[in-house]
Structures are given as structure tokens and as C-alpha cells.
Amino acid sequence: MADKLSTQPYKGTRDFYPEDMRFRRWMFGHLRQAVESYGYQEYDGPLLEPFDLYASKTSEEIVSQQLYWLVDRGERKMAIRPEMTPTLARMVAGKLQDLPKPIRWYSLPNLWRYERPQRGRLREHWQLNVDVLGGDRLQGDAEILAVAGSIFEAFGGSELVRIKINNRKFLDHVFRQTCGLADEATLAVTRLLDEYFKLGAEAFSAKLGGLGLSPDQIAEVVSYTELGRRGIAGLSESKYASEGGRELVELLAHLDSKTFEFDPCIVRGFQYYTGTVFEAYDVSPENTRALFGGGRYDNLIGLFGKQQLSGVGFGLGDVSLQNFLETHKLVPTLGSGVDVLVTNPGPEKRAKAQQVLRQLRASGFRAATTLDYSGFGKQIQSAVKLGARFVVLLGDEELGRGEVGVKNLASGGQASVREETLVEFLRSDR
Amino acid sequence: MADKLSTQPYKGTRDFYPEDMRFRRWMFGHLRQAVESYGYQEYDGPLLEPFDLYASKTSEEIVSQQLYWLVDRGERKMAIRPEMTPTLARMVAGKLQDLPKPIRWYSLPNLWRYERPQRGRLREHWQLNVDVLGGDRLQGDAEILAVAGSIFEAFGGSELVRIKINNRKFLDHVFRQTCGLADEATLAVTRLLDEYFKLGAEAFSAKLGGLGLSPDQIAEVVSYTELGRRGIAGLSESKYASEGGRELVELLAHLDSKTFEFDPCIVRGFQYYTGTVFEAYDVSPENTRALFGGGRYDNLIGLFGKQQLSGVGFGLGDVSLQNFLETHKLVPTLGSGVDVLVTNPGPEKRAKAQQVLRQLRASGFRAATTLDYSGFGKQIQSAVKLGARFVVLLGDEELGRGEVGVKNLASGGQASVREETLVEFLRSDR
């Protein structure tokens, strides 16, 4: 071994040292609690799925440019999952008859995409996926959006987020009927609209000119993009009236206007969406990327069999959420991994130290000791470094009286405590 | 889309439906609690690592036959991690100066190996990895073995497991000095010994004959394998006396003989072990495979730089552990994902239902409703299917009196409760 190996993680991925992991566990804990309060249950699937599972319905950009894939030793072409919804659909389809409806499921998988690493985008990230399948569509859409809102409430950030809503059926009606576009032009305009926020109104209009539309058609599309939040009130009587439009109006009537609003330019990239679509944005103008998004899909379960079951869901990435929480200072100070350090008093008292440690552990304390017989001063220093709250000192004198010394590193207090009352003392001195 | 996609997961992997996930969460929760009680902190690393990270030290069988790998779009040869220790070593080496010693870390990663799926072996599995680096070697070995023992205690299975211990330095001494083998023969015999339990004593001796050893050497090796638990007492005065032998005797003196014992045939496959090695076995004779194993590695951190730090750790797979817990009936009945179902009484009372749901969720209940306006009888059926404990009925009559109906599905009891005391009532009626 002449060359030393690099200590860096693979580009676009992260090492989670204990302090990073504490943050992740805190964040995931809040996510789990918020979602479970609605009765959603956690599921998981394998990391590798057949390449074909993504080839049909995931966005073309992901499949052709961003998928990690390999051919296994049995000649199967497998992909590392870039998103969770296809796995969800496969699993639901596999037990469609047996699962009580509506199916309320969530997952927290790690996902992979070959991306140029940049702020908010990594090659490996974790994503909260929440979906409800079955039941009334309107009620399902309203519930999934309420869950999304509750997540930000759980972090104390509900006023810092706006969730923007649109409808694929509505969009389709607008482009085909109102604007009079053919199939191909409808697809091209829809794709361009998905980049509206990135491009801005001006660049959008300019690019629209390159799609071979008539001046009237261009004017209609631009006029549609200017249909703001106020436009939704009279929608049912306007030239945009349609089934998708009705769905939009009904859904918005179910939602709190402080958080939710109609936006004509929301599309979502995935090709499988067929009804309601939505994206959440930070109200702070510095953060212009969507925090997360989702929508309704009617035809995913049918990829696996004859039966259909409509669903709606969203995916919230850990990197975007962490950026959001840090930007708005919503992360509290997180505790350490050790409550008590018991000093290691030397080989002849090793059994005593182990007995105290066992007692503390059985009582729910996270209790450690040093792994050498250094001086007590050095051992206390190591307790400070670990962030322990207490040091239990096994000095000869105290032990002779059936006592142990206790140092509270947070308060600075020090006391001698009878051995049998140690647990009680530590509990009351928190 | 003429062909329908398969609903089966990739061979050798598992779908975790909510009931499977509940089991996994229960099992992982116990693992986390047991390990954290010793002050171990959780870490994680990326799923893909450079192929070279495994090429040098992981067992040859894994690298040449079982590694999942791919070449990324930047021509880097990456592997899906087959084990966690190389990632641990990389991360520790990356912050060696900054980390307080001893480093007590654990992780619960998913790992991949291309195996022929069979009982106890899958292509994707999860593995608890627990390691301590730094500190006195003897104390570190004793602590990591105590942690391993505590895990089985946490599941109520400590009397069902025996942990068998050996030492690589000792093995090396025995084969080189006592048996007089050259380098190549030492390696070959060590590898063969690793299969001792699978082969049995007779087949082992037969295969030993094929390695080109002299009759005297064969007799010495066989005599060594017969050095049972009793042999350890006089080890320091026997022909096996050596530094590794001394380590073994000292370590066993620190451990409870109810759970821990010396076994001359324990080797462990990984090439990076340099001292203590151990494997845990189910006491039930039906289960002859090791439940888990581990050992001490002195030279892993040095792959990344000039400095060394000795560590000791073990890896416990979820499939083996699940088999063990199920075989010994150590799995309790696990609860459902829903506490309360609030009936969905129709569009005009939707706001009331949502208000009750919000109140329950804010009070820590996992509260769901149906997503359609079916009859109350059908809604109660769906509560039963979900495993909910309570149904809250929003009937016209009760609501008129400011009350709601409550049905306790566990006891069969039914009551009318004033709306403002609902939370209190549900808490007391558990």
C-alpha cells in the first residue's frame, strides 16, 4: 500500500459525524411525529429497483442523465432509486386487495441522482415521502396539503412558507382549449412553464417565441401566466372554466389562504401527475427554489396490473429543509450523547466502577467511562469534551463511607451522595 | 406500455410494508437504546464509496464475487458498501485530531452483497455496527463485548447466546511457532479454520491433508482445535504461551463466563483483524451460523494517513437477529399506527371534524378520518381494520348538546363526552 486512500466522502455526498447525525435525528423525529399524528405509517423498500421502473414515468432528464445504474451478475439492469414514488406504487399494487383504504403511508429513504453538486442539491439525499391513496380525491388533496403545512408548523416555521397550487387537468384545458395548442406544442409549453420561476417572465416569453406558436397563441399563454391569485374567484365563469378549474376552486376553498394559494405557473416535472400539483416556497426572496412539491397521480398503480387507485403525495428533501431551518434559525441547541461519565479509578476498583455504570444504564442514563486510568482531572476534561452533564467520582475516601462524589458540569455544583441514592440524586439534579 | 411491470422486489431484497416497518423500528429502537446507554453515538456515511476502499482490506470473497459496483459518469469506480468498517475508518481518519478519545460510535446502515439468497442471508440487509477506537485495548475489548451482551439482554435473550472469543495474534503464534508452518501454510490453515463449524471436525481434518503439511504439523493443528474451554486455564504455562495468549487470558478474566468463552476455532473472515476476534452463537443447536461477529483492528486508520488508532467493533445483521428473536418468541405484539378514528360526518360538518382532529393531534394522538362520507357502520369497520383504539362519533344529536360519542374498540365501551373534555377522557380511558 504505497498510496494513502482519501478521507473525503464521494463528491456530492455527506459524512454524518455524530453532531450531524444528531441534527438529522432531530429533524427526522419532527417529521415522523408530524406525519404520524395524521395516522400515516412508515414503509421502506429496497435501494435497487429495476431500471424499467423509472424508464416509463419518471422525468426524462432523470432517466437519461441522472440515474445511477448497474448490471448485476445475473444480467439484470438495476437502478439506485432516484425517487420513491415508483417503489410506493409497486408495493401498493402488490397488495392492492389486502390494504385497508385509504392507504396513508410515508417513508424517509435516501435517494441518488447524478447532479452537479450545488446549494440545495446533492447526489445522495434523504427525502420525506408522504402519500395517501384511495378515498375522495378532493379530501385526499386537502389532507395531504394539511400534512405538508403541519410539518412547517412542527418546526415553528409555518408563516415562512407559502404553498402554491395548480392542476394538471386545468393546465391541459388552458393550453389545448383556451390557447388552441396541438399535442406537441402543449407538451413543449408545459415543460417551459415548469422553468417559469427560474427564467422569469421576460425570458419565458422570449423562449415561448421559439416554439412555433402563432402570435395569438403566445398572447394567450402569456395572459394565462398573469392569471394571479385574484383570478381564481371568477374562474368558473371565465374562459378557463373546466373540470380541472372546478377542482382547483373547490380545493382552495378547503384550505387556509394564509398558507395556500393558486399559482398559474406551477407544473411539477414528473410526467405521472394528472390532477392537483403543488410546490412550497420560502417567503424569503433569497431562496427562490421550491422547498418541496408533489401532486396527484391517477395511473401509476395501473403500470403493474389491471386495477387503478388514485393517489396524491409529496417529497421533501433533507438538504432543502436543513437550509430552510438554518436560514430562519429554527434549529435549537441539541444535547450530547452522554449523560454521566463515571471515573475509571484503576484496576483494583474496576468492578465497583462497572457496577455503578450498570446501575446507571439500567436506570435510563447514558453512562460512559474512560478506557484508561488517567488522573481524575484529565477524566473530568474528557467528560466536558463529551458534553456529559454529570461526573461521578469514585474516590477512595467517599467509597470508604459508602458514598460517591457527583459533579454537575452544567451548574458547577459538587456533592457527596450515598451510593444507593445516586440514581435518585441525578434525576432530581437535572 | 404493453407489458405490466412486476410487483416483486428485486431478488434478495425486502419490501417493508407498515407491519414489517413496525417490527424494524421496534428492533432498531432496542438496539439504539442498548448501545446508547454506554454513551455510543450514531454516525452514518454515504452508500457509495470508492471501490478501492474495499479492495485492500475487505475479504477477497466479497471484493471479487459479492461487490455491487458501477462506474459513474465521471469515470470513478464506485461500490455500494458491503460493510461499514472501511467507512468508519475513513471518517475517523478524516478528523483524527479533533475527535475526543475514546471514540464510541455506532451506525445502522443498509449493506449490499451479491449473494445467493438463503435463510439468514440477503442481498440487502441492515447491520448494527458498534466500534470503540482509542483507549486501553483490554478495556476496549471488554467494553465492546459487554455492549454485545447487553443487546441480547435488552431483548430478554441473554441466556440464549454464547459469545466465543479468540485472538489473531494467538492464532498466528500457534500456527507459526507451535505448528511450525510457513507464511503461506499459515494463511491457508487460518482460512480453512474459519470454516471449521460449517465443515465439522472430520471434514476439516480431511481438507487439512490437502494443504501440503507434514503429518506432525497436521497433528499439531488438530490438537490445537481440540484445545477447548478448559485449556485456557493453564495457557500461560503451556506450549501455546505468547503475547496473544496472555491477551486472551486477561480478557476472559474480565468477562462473565455465563456468556463468554474461549474457542480455538474462531477466526473471522475479514483480513483487517489483528487481535481479539469473537462470534456469537445461538445456544439452540438448530441455528449453527454465527449471529454476529467482530474483532480488533490495529491498522485500518493508517490506510488514510500516517497516524494509527486501534479499534474494536462488531456488526450484527438484522436478518440474523430477526430469525433469532422469532425462533425464541421474543417479539411482543406491536401496536398499530392510529390511536383514534374520527368519523367523517359529511360536508356540512367537515369543519367540526377537522377541528376535533386538530385538537387530538396537538395533544399527541395519532388521529385519522375516512376520506369519504360512508355510513358510520362502515367507518367503524375501517377503524377496526386500522387497529385504532378509539372511534369518535360526530352524531347530530350529541353535537347539538356540545358532546361527541366515543367508542373504545378494545373494551367495547361507549360514552358521550363533552367536547372540551374529549382529550382528557381518551387519556384516562386507555
Reported as a single tens digit per residue, the pLDDT across B50-109 is 999 998 766 677 788 899 999 999 999 999 999 999 999 999 999 999 999 999 999 999
Q: In terms of domains, do B166 and B280 share one? A: yes
Cβ density class A259-289: b for 16+ within 10 Å, e for less: bbbbbbbbbbebebbbbbbbbbbbeeeebee
Which of B327, B357, B389 corresponds to the end of one domain? B327
Reported as a single tens digit per residue, the pLDDT across B346-384 is 888 989 999 999 999 999 999 999 999 888 899 999 999
Q: Which residue of B has its CA nearest to A135?
A: B371
Q: In terms of domains, do A288 and A344 share one? A: no
Examine residue B309 and state whether it is found in any structural domain, yes or no. yes
Examine residue A15 and state whether it is found in any structural domain, yes or no. no
Closest Cα in chain B, distance from residue A45 (Å): 5
The predicted structure's pLDDT at residue B430: 62
Q: Which residue of A has its CA nearest to B25?
A: A42
pLDDT level of residue A228 (50, 70, 90 thresholds): confident
The predicted structure's pLDDT at residue A35: 98
Whether the Cβ atoms of residue B71 and residue A394 lie closer than 8 Å to each other: no
The predicted structure's pLDDT at residue B110: 97
Query: Grid coordinates in use for A397?
Result: 475516601
The predicted structure's pLDDT at residue A56: 73
Q: In terms of domains, do B222 and B367 share one? A: no
The predicted structure's pLDDT at residue A1: 43
Q: Does A37 touch chain B (CB under 8 A)?
A: yes
Q: What mean pLDDT comes out for the span B13-32?
A: 98
Question: What's the whole-number average pLDDT of chain A?
Answer: 93
Q: In terms of domains, do A76 and A156 share one? A: yes
Which residues of chain A have a CB within 8 Å of the CB of B344? 139
**A-B C-beta contacts closer than 8 Å:** 232
Phi, psi torsion values for A336, nearest 5 degrees? -95, -175
CATH of the domain at B165: 3.30.930.10
Reported as a single tens digit per residue, the pLDDT across B30-49 is 999 999 999 999 999 999 99
Q: What mean pLDDT comes out for the span B120-130?
A: 93
- Residue A374 belongs to domain spanning: 340-428
Which residues of chain A have a CB within 8 Å of the CB of B25? 42
Reported as a single tens digit per residue, the pLDDT across A264-311 is 999 997 778 999 999 999 998 888 889 999 999 998 999 998 899 999
Q: In terms of domains, do B55 and B176 share one? A: yes
- Provide the chain A residues 5-34 that lie in CB contact (below 8 A) with chain B: 5-11, 13-18, 20-22, 24-25
Say which residues have a Cβ less than 8 Å from residue B192's Cβ, sequence separation at least 6: B199, B204, B207, B208, B211
A38·B90 Cβ contact <8 A: no
Which of A287, A304, A327 corresponds to the end of one domain? A327
Which strand (E) or helix (H) includes residue A425?
helix A422-428
The predicted structure's pLDDT at residue A329: 96
Q: Does B98 touch chain A (CB under 8 A)?
A: no
- Provide the chain A residues 133-162 that lie in CB contact (below 8 A) with chain B: 134-136, 139-140, 143, 150
Separation CA B18–CA A91 (nearest Å): 11
The structural domain count of chain A equals 2
Peptide bond into B102 cis (omega under 30): yes
Which of A293, A327, A361 corresponds to the end of one domain? A327
Examine residue B273 and state whether it is found in any structural domain, yes or no. yes
Bin B59: left if φ > 0, else alpha if -120 < ψ < 50, else beta: beta
Reported as a single tens digit per residue, the pLDDT across B222-246 is 999 998 755 677 888 889 999 999 9
Closest Cα in chain B, distance from residue A328 (Å): 23
Q: In terms of domains, do A227 and A371 share one? A: no
Reported as a single tens digit per residue, the pLDDT across A23-44 is 999 999 999 999 999 999 999 9
- Provide the chain A residues 171-230 that lie in CB contact (below 8 A) with chain B: none
Examine residue B253 and state whether it is found in any structural domain, yes or no. yes
Q: In terms of domains, do A203 and A301 share one? A: yes
Q: In terms of domains, do A79 and A193 share one? A: yes
Q: In terms of domains, do B212 and B356 share one? A: no
Peptide bond into B264 cis (omega under 30): no
Examine residue B9 and state whether it is found in any structural domain, yes or no. no
Separation CA B169–CA B356 (nearest Å): 67
- pTM recorded for the entire structure: 0.94
Angle B18-36/B318-327 helices, nearest 10 degrees?
A: 100
Per cent of chain A over pLDDT 70 is 98
Whether the Cβ atoms of residue B278 and residue B290 lie closer than 8 Å to each other: no
Separation CA A3–CA A105 (nearest Å): 48
Examine residue B188 and state whether it is found in any structural domain, yes or no. yes
The predicted structure's pLDDT at residue A58: 65
DSSP A66: I
Q: In terms of domains, do B272 and B133 share one? A: yes
Q: What is the separation, in whole angstroms, between the first and last Cα of chain B?
A: 51
ipTM score above 0.90: yes
Q: Cell numbers 454485545 correspond to what residue?
A: B148
The predicted structure's pLDDT at residue A229: 54
Closest Cα in chain B, distance from residue A100 (Å): 7
Q: What mean pLDDT comes out for the span B334-339?
A: 94
Separation CA A131–CA A152 (nearest Å): 17
Q: Cell numbers 478495556 correspond to what residue?
A: B139
Q: In terms of domains, do A321 and A377 share one? A: no
Examine residue B354 and state whether it is found in any structural domain, yes or no. yes
Separation CA B313–CA B295 (nearest Å): 6
CATH of the domain at A376: 3.40.50.800
Say which residues have a Cβ less than 8 Å from residue B161's Cβ, sequence separation at least 6: B149, B152, B259, B280, B281, B282, B283, B291, B324
Q: Does B116 touch chain A (CB under 8 A)?
A: no
The predicted structure's pLDDT at residue B145: 98
Question: What's the whole-number average pLDDT of chain B?
Answer: 93
Closest Cα in chain A, distance from residue B187 (Å): 19
B47·A80 Cβ contact <8 A: yes
The predicted structure's pLDDT at residue A230: 59
pLDDT level of residue B1 (50, 70, 90 thresholds): very low
Q: Does A372 touch chain B (CB under 8 A)?
A: yes
Q: In terms of domains, do A235 and A345 share one? A: no
The predicted structure's pLDDT at residue B58: 65
How many other β-carbons are positioned within 10 Å of the β-carbon of residue B91?
A: 23
Interface test with B, best of A13, A15, A116 (most B CBs within 10 A): A15
A18·B49 Cβ contact <8 A: no
Instruction: Tell which wins on pLDDT, B105 or B430.
Output: B105
Q: Does B250 touch chain A (CB under 8 A)?
A: no
Examine residue A21 and state whether it is found in any structural domain, yes or no. no
Is the pLDDT score of A198 beyond 90? no
Q: Does B106 touch chain A (CB under 8 A)?
A: no
The predicted structure's pLDDT at residue A233: 78
DSSP B82: S
The predicted structure's pLDDT at residue A324: 95
Q: What mean pLDDT comes out for the span A235-241?
A: 88
Separation CA A46–CA A80 (nearest Å): 9
